[in-house]
């Protein structure tokens, strides 16, 4: 059961953040509307929101997921792989202290982006990417093991289509993973029931289950149909302006 979520409003200079730049510059007013719809959807799912003020010193800071990995009892502060984002982590410590008393941190030279970490019940998939390195992954695995969790590595460093692991997979309960076609053949996921996302809807692989609902990006009718056929209640959300900044649904909140 997800009871809480921490979010940070996008800053007016949101478009100055990191991006591959392939989809054009986001419109801030439109991004703000989409962000509000996202917040409303989480509230509809029964989640209590802590919404932090925008941080213009860090244009990417609305993507709070990258700053921490959360377990039932512990907050693990990350060390983002992009140096321009590392200052976002200290700004998250205070809000997390309202909910967690046990903390751990990833230390240099390790790097971890929360977007590379996919929690599947008591197991964590740790993506090794251009943002999360092996040293950081090992540190995280040791911390998780201390809390009674298992983990495994998924190396996506050669997969140019994925910025983060969760750009290509999402765990939605019932031993089910939503995966892009190119991730479906990975041996790491052999024990899971896979819901394959067609290539033309690949962005929708970054979806999130929030209690009785699954939030997916709008414009993904095939995935929506597949999920509804399996009995999920689906909430589509317009995410175009965040997609322009290489962000997705999971990136915009820390949920616990």
- The question of whether 207 is a catalytic residue gets the answer no
Among positive and negative, which fits the CA dihedral 107, 139, 145, 150?
A: positive
Question: Of 45, 118, 164, 207, which residue is the catalytic one?
Answer: 164
Candidates 39, 45, 118, 251; catalytic one: 251
| Torsion angle of C-alpha atoms 231, 48, 71, 84, degrees rounded to 10 | 110
Using CA atoms, how far apart are residues 86 and 67, in angstroms rounded to an integer?
8
Q: Is 118 a catalytic residue?
A: no
Any bridge partners for residue 234, and if so which?
214
Helix (H, G, I), strand (E, B) or coil at 172: coil
Q: Counting runs of H as helices and runs of E as strands, what totals does the chain give?
A: 5, 15
Where are any strands of DSSP class E within the chain?
Answer: 4-8, 48-52, 68-70, 74-77, 102-105, 117-120, 123-128, 150-155, 169-171, 176-180, 193-197, 208-210, 213-217, 233-237, 254-255
Q: Is the separation of the CB atoms in 5 and 47 below 8 Å?
A: yes
- Which active-site residues does the annotation give? 164, 251
């Amino acid at each position: 059961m997800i009871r809480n979520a921490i979010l940070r409003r996008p800053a007016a200079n949101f478009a100055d953040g990191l991006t591959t730049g392939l989809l054009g510059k986001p419109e801030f007013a439109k991004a703000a509307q989409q962000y509000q719809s996202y917040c409303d959807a989480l509230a509809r799912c029964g989640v209590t929101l802590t919404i932090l003020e925008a941080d213009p010193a860090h244009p990417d800071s609305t993507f709070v997921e990258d700053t921490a990995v959360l377990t039932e009892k512990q907050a693990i502060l990350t060390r983002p792989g992009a140096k321009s984002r590392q200052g976002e982590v200290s700004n998250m410590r205070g809000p997390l202290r309202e909910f967690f008393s046990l903390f751990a941190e990833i230390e240099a030279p390790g790097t971890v982006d929360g977007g590379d970490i996919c929690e599947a019940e008591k197991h964590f998939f740790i993506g090794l990417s251009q943002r999360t390195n092996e040293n950081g992954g090992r540190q995280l695995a040791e911390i998780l093991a201390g809390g009674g969790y298992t983990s495994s590595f998924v190396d996506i460093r050669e997969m140019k289509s994925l910025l983060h692991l969760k750009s290509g997979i999402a765990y939605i309960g019932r031993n089910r993973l939503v995966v892009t076609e190119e991730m479906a053949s990975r041996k790491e996921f052999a024990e899971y029931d896979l819901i394959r996302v067609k290539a033309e809807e690949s962005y929708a692989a970054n979806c999130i289950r929030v209690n009785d609902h699954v939030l997916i990006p709008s414009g993904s009718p095939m995935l929506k149909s597949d999920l509804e056929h399996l009995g999920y209640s689906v909430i589509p959300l317009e995410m175009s302006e965040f997609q322009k900044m290489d962000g997705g649904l999971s990136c915009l909140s820390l949920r616990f």
